[in-house]
């Protein structure tokens, strides 16, 4: 099942700071800075990227296990 809200994100340099810029895709709601504009989307950053991060960790863990298994055989 796909989540209803989808977003794209990219790292950019804005006013001398490196920031994650998030944009809604399709009918996803526009995210608002919470608790105020100085925070940006920090409270939601982990949740926004969680699916990608979980998939990345799975791929890296598989690669690590394969490399370790190859070292033991060689």
Higher per-residue pLDDT: 6 or 60: 60
SS3 state of residue 4 = coil
Instruction: Give residue-wise pLDDT tens across range 15-68.
Output: 898 888 888 888 888 888 888 888 888 777 777 777 778 889 999 999 999 999
pLDDT at position 3 over 60 = no
């Amino acid at each position: 099942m796909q989540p209803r809200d989808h977003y794209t994100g990219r790292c950019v340099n804005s006013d001398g700071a490196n920031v994650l810029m998030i944009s809604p895709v399709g009918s996803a709601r526009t995210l608002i800075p919470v608790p105020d504009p100085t925070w940006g989307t920090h409270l939601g950053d982990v949740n926004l990227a969680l699916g990608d991060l979980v998939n990345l960790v799975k791929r890296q863990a598989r690669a690590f296990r394969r490399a370790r298994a190859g070292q033991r055989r060689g």
